Structure 1
Amino acid sequence: HDRPRHVGWIVDTPAELDRLTGRLTDAGHTVEDGTPQEARLRGATRLRRFTDPVGYRVELAVGETKARSAVARPDGTQPGATGLGHFVLASPRLEELRELYENVLEFRLTDYRAPGLYFLRCNPTHHSIALAHADTASLHHLEFEHGSIDDVGRSYDRAKANGAPISISLGRHMNDKALSFYVRNPSGFHLEIGCGGIEVGEDWVPHDFGVSDVWGHHHAEANPFASPAS
């Protein structure tokens, strides 16, 4: 099936991995050790996995391999793409996913758009995952962080020049203030190319951010989250 198979999270220490394993087990999840081959593939010193309410395999790893590659730039500037920013899971089992991420894995709610769209963080980044209501489970998009608006602009030019379908135009999000555009990839979900998302501190208060965008982000097709279902 042309759909996500694994979701992975890096855990800081072996002790934290054991603590989260206990919380998952107490919540009724079956947690298993990854194979040595899987751990080596991910560059992990320890790897455990379980299945979430949607059926995705979720991995918790200590350690990771750093892989660096980038498109050559005419002016030799760096850094270009800097890593995975976030992803958005849509599912009819929204409340079960919220229970898993907020109450078991201890992600923190950053903000939301009522009803049915929630942005969660596990580090200072505004959000690493967003959860949305939908009739069918799907990955709505992956976001790749870039170092500057110039990197985003160059990516936009390359997408246009190579006929990549721009599914959501350039714009700035209201909640995390990121500048980005989206392309639809051959698997059908979106790739967001963005930069400039804010970080939040311990004193951040979750809130309904209301309007989705400051400007731009015009959808080529109907926006499934324009009026999220309850």
Structure 2
Amino acid sequence: MRTSGAPDTASVFGSVHLGYLVIETERLADWRRFGTDAIGMHHDALDTGLMRFRLDEQECRFLVRRGPAEDVVATGWHVDDHAAFERIEARVRAHGVPVVAGTAEEAALRGVERLVRFPGPKGIAQEIYTTPVRSAEPLRMLASGFVTGDAGMGHVAITSARPTQVRGYFHTVFDARLTDYIDETISGVKIKIRFLRVNERHHSVAIAGVRGLPVDPVRTRVQHLNIQAAGLDDLARSYRRVCELGFDMALSVGQHTNDRELSYYARTPSGFEWEVGWNPVVVDEATWEPGTHQGISIWGHTPVGRTIMDKLEQFRLGARSLVRSEDAVPALSGAGIADG
């Protein structure tokens, strides 16, 4: 039993799961086609400037709202119980970082009973909640299903000039564990990618270090997000739909070196990438040891239709990063975390 007044240092690892994402865009019609007709998710229209996508019985997995960001603006984390919820909230407050309670309207839009919000790396708000609202409405999807449950709904990947601090942030807040690294060379530049898990899913957050590059090559806060298809047929059929409907394919089907997931990457109407994957490894906490893999893919994941003009456009968009500083939320950065 915890002594009154003593800090609660119990771990929340395993009690946290990626629950929803909030996306801001002016391209709502394109997003509806992308989400329903290409990826195959369930769609609910809320009004002219709001819609949601479902993957399962949870009422909201993606909240898409009208706005200028063309980006992910908030990440929602499902916390198993009130004790873990309060432990996370107390940690954030103890480091002097502001915590704000979401309004009843915000909670309803996200399909949760209540939430609190606090700053996260790269300006992505982090939100936590305990009780999702389950929808009684049957799913209307082109996909047979998606894998969510105890592993959460997938992962997010970001680029960062301060990858050690970002890793420290997720360790401090969620007791995230390092799963492994990937060393990759892109256009002659060496990049180290850190993969962090908060439950049995191989990773819920991936952080690609871009320290030393003249610009961050990614305009958006999120480089890509991932959802996991229930079956190989779902993966193949959604890949075909993305191509047939005229959406850009960023990377063809391939298999990753570390989590062995088979996947492809489509480019969303907002510009960041959307990975649909299948059959990644599940971490066994009793035996897993972090390691380093050379290269992102065993095979495949080749760029699709990339021209020199595309590369110049990517550089132009990435150059915007020079006019904004990256906020790693230093109060929560966990300066004592050792990193490779």
Give the alignment's TM-score, normalised by structure 1.
0.86
Instruction: Give the match for residue 89 of structure 1.
Output: 158
CA offset digits 1:6-55 (Å, max 9, x no partner):
11111111111111111112233211211122222223233111011422
2:141 paired with 1:71: yes
* Cα separation, 2, equivalents of 1:123 and 1:13: 15
CA offset digits 1:59-111 (Å, max 9, x no partner):
011111346644347xxxx33x3453111011223232111102332111111
Aligned partners of 1:27 and 1:104 also within 8 Å? no
Letter of the structure 2 residue corresponding to residue 150 of structure 1: D
Aligned partners of 1:174 and 1:213 also within 8 Å? yes
2:293 paired with 1:209: yes
Q: In structure 2, the residue corresponding to 1:60 is in which secondary structure? A: strand
Question: How far did residue 184 of structure 1 move?
Answer: 0.8
2:209 paired with 1:133: yes
CA offset digits 1:113-162 (Å, max 9, x no partner):
24531111111111111112244462111112111111111111212222
Instruction: Give the match for residue 196 of structure 1.
Output: 279
* Cα separation, 1, equivalents of 2:124 and 2:221: 10
Instruction: Give the match for residue 83 of structure 2.
Output: 15
Structure 2 unpaired stretches of 5+: 1-68, 184-190, 316-339
Which runs of at least 4 in structure 1 moved beyond 6 Å after TM superposition?
none
Give the alignment's Cα RMSD to 1 decimal: 2.3
Residue 53 and residue 178 in structure 1: after superposition, are their counterparts in 2 closer, same or farther (change >3 A)?
closer
Figure out how many residues of one structure are paired with residues of the other and give that number.
220
More moved, 152-161 vs 35-44: 35-44
* Cα separation, 1, equivalents of 2:95 and 2:195: 22
What is the aligned counterpart of 1:57 among 125, 139, 142? Answer: 125
Aligned partners of 2:181 and 2:291 also within 8 Å? yes
* Cα separation, 2, equivalents of 1:133 and 1:211: 14
Residue 208 and residue 70 in structure 1: after superposition, are their counterparts in 2 closer, same or farther (change >3 A)?
farther
Q: In structure 1, the residue corresponding to 2:75 is in which secondary structure? A: strand
CA offset digits 1:155-208 (Å, max 9, x no partner):
112122222211101111111111111111111111111111111021211111
What is the aligned counterpart of 2:256 among 153, 162, 173? Answer: 173
Percentage identity across aligned positions? 34
Q: In structure 2, the residue corresponding to 1:22 is in which secondary structure? A: helix
Instruction: Give the match for residue 113 of structure 1.
Output: 182
Instruction: Give the match for residue 227 of structure 1.
Output: none
Q: Which has the larger radius of gyration?
A: 2
Structure 1 unpaired stretches of 5+: 225-229
Instruction: Give the match for residue 4 of structure 1.
Output: 72
More moved, 158-167 vs 7-16: 158-167
Instruction: Give the match for residue 159 of structure 1.
Output: 242
